[in-house]
Structure 1
Amino acid sequence: MSAEIEGTWDLTIATPIGRVRPVIELRTQDGQLAGTAHGEREGEDLPLRDIALDGHRLTWKQSITRPMRLDLAFAVTVDGDTLTGTSKAGRLPSSKVTGRRRDDGADVVEPM
């Protein structure tokens, strides 16, 4: 199933301070899922950790440093080219996450 989630995903995270739109890239590397998150405005490239796929449920962790230092835990359900779920940062309330996989060959849109 890991090959079925590989690709570039445009996420929207509805946080208490507004919507954040990171991009994540998922791939299989040496038989394991690996990934990187790219910040919408901050320009950060962050590794995804503890990536696990159980059926259609995908989970991972990542740390961010901007706009503040946070450790995030994601839990989403993948359905074809869409995903829905939550992101949790410590004691803060969960944030709703939605995402769509990019078509192969889709151009990356750089923020202005």
Structure 2
Amino acid sequence: MNADTATDTDRTASLEGVWDLTIATPVGRIRAVVAFRRQDGSLVGVASGAGEDVPLRDIAVDGPHVTWKQSVTKPLRLNLAFAVDVHGDTLAGASRAGRLPASKVTGTRRTTPVGEAE
């Protein structure tokens, strides 16, 4: 089980950083920024877009598959559920808002200047 724990830590570390997302909704493309970081041994995150910053909930990493939930109030009040696969510095998957059709999500990780993260 120790090997599994180390693997989970490595998987979580591969998600950390700032991601630029594009969500292709039926009413047009929405751009958002999601930041993941480790805090007190857990993965936490914040999404920014449409003039608001919202915390991510229920972040789960299983190999390359990552899920999380968030609530937004702009342009509408929605509870969103994301499911994406991360491959290096890109991700792809879907976001679902309740019973609405799933929206395609793509993203790229922003590069961190050398020496900034220690």
TM score, norm. by length of structure 2 = 0.86
Number of the residue aligned with 2:68: 60
Equivalent in the alignment of 1:110? none
Q: What residue is the counterpart of 1:18 in the other structure?
A: 28
Following superposition, the deviation at residue 95 of structure 1 comes to 0.1
Deviations 1:21-58 (Å, cap 9, x if unpaired)?
A: 1000001111111000000xx21000000000001100
Counterpart selection for 1:72 from 61, 80, 91: 80
Point out the structure with the larger helix share.
Answer: 2
Instruction: Provide the residue aligned with 1:45 in structure 2.
Output: 53
After superposition, the C-alpha distances for 1:52-83 in whole angstroms (9 at most, x for unaligned) are 00011000000000101000000000000000
RMSD of aligned Cα (Å): 0.6
Q: Identical aligned pairs, as a percentage?
A: 65
Residues matched between the structures, number:
103
Point out 4+ residue stretches in structure 1 off by more than 6 angstroms: none
Partner of 1:89: 97
Matches for 1:30-41 after TM superposition, within 5 Å: 30-39=40-49
